[in-house]
Structure 1
Amino acid sequence: MTERAQAIAAKVEAFVRETVIPYEKDERATSHGPTDELVQEMRAKAKAAGVLTPHILSDGSHLNQRETAIVLIKSGLSPLGPLAVNTMAPDEGNMYLIGKVGSPEQKARFLEQLVSGESRSAFFMTEPAAENGAGSDPSMMQTTCRLDGNHWVINGRKAFITGAAGAKVGIVMAKSQDGACMFLVDLPDPAIRIERVLDTIDSSMPGGHSIVVIDNLRVPASQMLGASGEGFQYAQVRLSPARLSHCMRWLGAAIRAQEIASDYACRREAFGKKLIDHEGVGFMLAENMIDLQQCELMIDWCAGVLDSGSLGTVESSMAKVAVSEALFRIADRCVQVMGGMGVSGDTIVEQVFREVRAFRIYDGPTEVHKWSLARKIKRDHAKAHAG
């Protein structure tokens, strides 16, 4: 690991532990996510501490994926940490995508305000299941776009759009006669209407998750991201590292939950001895140690694949499955170790449990990734035995 990444990670960890964690009881951390007032207050402190958007360097270059991993893990030590230092989803993934695909003009208009932390963004891809729209299978996309002069006109409905309420930048996916397309849009826009913000099990994302109607949205042709029909390829550019970034951040949260549960077990007495001395409790925490180490190794391995120049779709699917399932086991054991305290809001353990449970679905459910991996096994078998 590079010295620069280690130094950045140390600064981020100190900031999260000393400055961000005290905000966890702030009333502005609502059931639909922290308010923008709270986010901007924390970001002002992050900027002053020199840890705002730490994965993007002052010259605009990015840390590589392995370097990013140790920084994002430290940012995740509090559910508010990624928000405070601007490494959260969907912004981190959107910044990466615009940086890779956007034109110089698009970067100046849309990317700079995200990197500076002054604005939030939303990624409009998923559609309502009741309408047989795109979810885990983006090829089912119902949202359409058609060229009208020098503008594209977009119509459709989107669902589970994280952070749409309060976002200033949007990336909208729609289907043209050429195939999937992506557009950069300024928000709010009267043609993009939030029907409702869903009540979900998680509560870490500002703006929550919305059902959105797009009604005759007119977007200048200059705001198409890349080329018409190439949207699915761009989605993969974004999704592979974004899945891994989720693993990084929530690993940080699971590490914190383990710290809290271990402290509790080492202090609490029952049946004549500390909880940690009861095998039923101590073994759960030991299993967590093993799972945490395996998660870190899986993340580092997948990050190395991405750093090699590979698109890493297979590796990121394996990492998403292995890490999300392990983190859920870790969070579940932490709740169990702490008993009644584990299901209360007195610590962040119960929130980590809720957030990681949602993570097993977001960015592709475990079963979809396993299905994709099984298809690869079948293709590889057919190729190996051809002729």
Structure 2
Amino acid sequence: MTDPEATSGFGPDLADVFGPRPSDGGTELIQLLTPEGERVHHPEFDLDFPEEQVRGFYRDMVLARRLDVEATALQRHGELGLWAQLLGQEAAQIGAGRALAPQDFVFPTYREHGVAWCRGVDPVKLLSLFRGVDQGSWDPAEHNFHLYTIVIGAQTLHATGYAMGVQRDGLVGTGDPDRDVAVVAHFGDGASSQGDVNEAFVFAASYNAPVVFFCQNNQWAISEPIERQSRIPLYQRARGFGFPGLRVDGNDVLATYSVMKAALQRAREGQGPTLVEAYTYRMGAHTTTDDPTRYRLIEDVEHWKLKDPIARVEAFLRRKGVASDEFFAGVAAEADDLGEMLRRECHALPDPDPRAIFDHVYAEQTAELQAQQDGFAAYLDSFEEAAR
């Protein structure tokens, strides 16, 4: 006999009341560019994209992928301790990154290399973090891009708190496009299972905070598939907290850009939070310590390669005749130059001064920390004296 509890997941009585498990069937995936590079239109999120802008998206994605490929190779050669790959998620990150206004602030995870590129962060500083010679050396205030967050989901609370702060500073809903601020919290589908993320949703909704929660659903929380994490599509969770949720084709840079532009503008105008689920796929490993062949099928990876975000923009540009062979060759040459620079600069990164660990603990040095720093310096000096 079939066990109704095992088949429905709700139990023998509740299954009759509530019906079968919800599925992805019938949910709207916002798309403006098909995997074949055909431009399609959407009644709410359509934009006119100048040719130069689309070529810029293509260039950004190619260079972000080259950064990712080079960093992965550097880790395999022992030059980095670890690297978190973004392979396959370039459209989600570039679309979200280019939709930002200069004054908007971003709270990333540890994988937002494409967004960091859009915010002008030196990619060598990303390498130095994963090489272990610093703890993040870019200035968040200069780029409006926070340091990477390793604790899964913690950045969503940071983003919500920051958003509540700018709201109270009068930087939301003024009508001044150069003044109003939106905040973005990046996270993955795995992080959506963390309590911090759900707590951030509660506070953002309660205080109508100007924050956009941008979930890159790459369908794998390390080795755990999305089907094990959520009984409904992730974007529908927002409804339970009282704010809108949208699902966008995360391999479509045009759609991602358009949806994020709308969500960010909504936040700046004081209309509160939005959850954007960018439905994409992690074509690489979770990190360079991961072996995805142990838990997923190669057929799935090959299927998603046909939806490659870079290939579909190239197909569109060629179909429209708005990018020449010289353009594509030029971008490829620029990617080669970037790769050579990354290898050279990574090898040249100096080891840190051990004393520097005290430099950025507090904005103003405390007496207790100064005493610890002096004691540590004396300890290090003792080795130099012994060597004489």
* Range into which the TM-score falls when normalised by the shorter chain: under 0.3
Larger radius of gyration: 2
Query: Normalization by structure 2: what TM-score?
Result: 0.24
| Structure 1 or 2: more helix by fraction | 1
